[in-house]
Chain A
Amino acid sequence: MIDLIHLYRAQFKTTIAEQFQYRGALVIWLTGLILEPVIFLSVWAAVARSQGGAVDGFTANDFAAYFLLTLIVDHAGFTWIMWEMEYWIRQGNLSPLLVRPVHPIHRHIANNLTFKLLTMVVVIPVVIVLGFVFRPSFTITPATALAFVPAVVLAMALRFAVEWTLASVAFWVTRVNALNQLYYVVFLFLAGMAAPLALLPEPVRILAEWLPFYRMLGFPVEVLLGRLTPQQVAVGFAAQIAWLTVALVLLNVTWARGIRKYSAVGA
């Protein structure tokens, strides 16, 4: 365990040093990340105003609260492994990682967390500034704040495990971009990225509640905003833990098989 902490600390330093080499790219990356929820927010706020102030009970200020929090949770949870894994496998860059006495996943977790810590320094002030523009209305109670912490941590873990598993498909499929696109579209609607789940048609909403995507983004946001009943929060945590378990099992199986294939055909 101490060795792992040591490893993560070394990896943190490396990633920070690396990221500072690419300040320009970092700014562009962040701009895209911030722009997306802001666009959804602007559209929904406009719709709310044109419908006399609210859509299904969501006012423009409610939308502001929802999408600005979505921005933060999405930023905390997103990964780039689905793009990176293909490169690792195709270019043979995975090989040197495999002959080291550490699982490559640690490197990616550490990279991911470091990047988040680094960029949160920019994201939080941006959200505060956007708050002055869009005037979100929300009340955070100690109870919702307390529930939000595990909800967002589980959401991050779940998203990481799911996306790492999907990324492993690159062991079998040469072009994974199509899959990535499909995943993105599904995520956009079923995670609560494009709209709060309450605004979706009933069957889609039910589907979204059963699938894991909503648990990676919309759920923690709604926990913090206090939009859920205690029972819904409890069900949500159970769903997060159940999906995380499934995802971790799948991750281990696909990774082991993928590596086996990689090692069979010519690493």
Chain B
Amino acid sequence: MAESPVTPPRARATREAATDTAIRVRGLRKTYDVPERESGLRASARSLLRRQTKEVVAVSGISFDVAPGEVVGFLGPNGAGKTTTLKMLSGLLYPSAGEATVLGHIPWDREKAYLRQMTLVMGQRNQLVWDIPVADSYELNRAIYRIPEIEYQQTLTELIDLLDLETLLTKPVRNLSLGERMKCELAGALLHRPSVLFLDEPTLGLDVTAQRRIRTFIAEYAARHNATVLLTSHYMADVEALAERVLVIHQGALLFDGALGALVARFSPHKTLTIDLEYPVLDLDRFGEVVAIDDCHAILRVPKTQAAAITARLLAELPIVDLSVTDPPVDEVIDTVFSSGASGADPDQLSEIETALEPISV
């Protein structure tokens, strides 16, 4: 337990900020050996003698870079490998192969100098001691992270202000609602002003208002402290609001790395045409798939390549009052990508999709 002298966190963070990568991942891979046996007594007996295990690939060699101060959304269905990746980058898991550096440290060495500069928020029971008031838990964190008194007071005031925690601090954690607890968890995880944040589903289970509150806060924190954020979420709204850049991971492989808008352009084969008509028209389906129709208002889905031509035809042939061409909502696009593959019923279909998606260089 010898305390080795370490570079003060902030000095190091500044040095790292000078380079242009906060997180660097190359060919990162993680496989698990999962015990496997058939049901039944005989199989049980056999497995006593020799355990059958099956190798499951959770993350299959992904590579990406994240610049300091960048907020990146990590998208993928359950079991895609998001959490496993976050756990490797925060130092909780050893990878099976590949390498990664975060702020110049190898995460799974768990050097104290690294741990002092990063935070991992996973689930809702990390930072806070269940039975005591929130403020007391924060005091403990202050000691754990050796936060100087003045800096601690500054940060705490800022967090109380941003998250509206004033009335919560004196309550025992078990008396807080889910949303309140998440706010307090987040604040606790940020008291030491980490420059890298790994957030796994920070808004899970929260109502819309609380979700928005947390989102605004994360954006605000990242901007103020030039923090690098890697966040996973099931809620597209989170990612849309926070991340200009998204990483799409599916079955352990990186399918897409780029701007959110580009994701839609790349994956959605459709455009949405919304039209207002002077009077109802019945045979709209000759122009494209009718998604919704209500008297003089209709929504059509048409292949992207034909969108221009169809728009021209609509304008020429119908009494159009108003017309707009839009991309479908992001979550719809994502849903199409994942549901076609994630159901896993037809491996051929999946490989077709993956070929079509041309996985970006890994």
**A contacts, CB < 8 Å to B:** 1, 3-4, 6-7, 9-11, 13-14, 17-18, 21-22, 93, 95-96, 98-103, 105-106, 260, 263-267
Contacts and interface: CB of A to CB of B under 8 A. Distances in A.
A55 to B, nearest CB: 45
Given A4-B3, A101-B115, A264-B94, A10 B143 contact: yes
A263 B143 contact: no
Contacts, number: 86
Given A13-B139, A263-B94, A266-B32, A102 B129 contact: no
Contacts of A22: 131
Contact of B32 (A10, A102, A265): A265
Contacts of A7: 143-144
A99 B91 contact: yes
Interface stretch (B62-70, B119-127, B231-239, B274-282): B119-127
A113 B112 CA distance: 25
B287 interface: no
Interface of B: 1, 3, 32-33, 84, 87, 90-94, 108, 110, 112-113, 115-116, 118-120, 122, 125-127, 129, 131-133, 136-137, 139-140, 142-146, 172
A214 to B, nearest CB: 28
A255 to B, nearest CB: 11
Contact of A101 (B116, B122, B132, B133): B116
Contacts of A103: 1
A17 B133 CA distance: 9
A267 to B, nearest CB: 4
A201 to B, nearest CB: 38
28 contacts: A6-B146, A7-B143, A10-B139, A10-B142, A10-B144, A11-B140, A14-B129, A14-B136, A14-B139, A18-B131, A18-B132, A96-B127, A99-B90, A99-B92, A99-B115, A99-B118, A99-B120, A100-B115, A101-B112, A101-B115, A102-B144, A263-B93, A263-B94, A264-B93, A265-B32, A266-B84, A266-B93, A267-B87
A18 B1 CA distance: 26
A267 B112 CA distance: 19
A267 B86 CA distance: 11
A6 B139 CA distance: 10
A204 to B, nearest CB: 35
A96 B126 contact: yes
Contacts of B131: 17-18, 21-22
A100 B120 CA distance: 10
Given A95-B122, A96-B126, A99-B120, 5 more contacts: A7-B143, A14-B136, A14-B137, A21-B172, A106-B1
B360 to A, nearest CB: 27
A266 B33 CA distance: 10
A105 B1 CA distance: 9
A267 B116 contact: no
Contacts of A6: 143, 146
Nearest to B131: A21
B297 to A, nearest CB: 51
A3 B3 contact: yes
A5 B219 CA distance: 36
Given A7-B144, A101-B112, A1 B139 contact: no
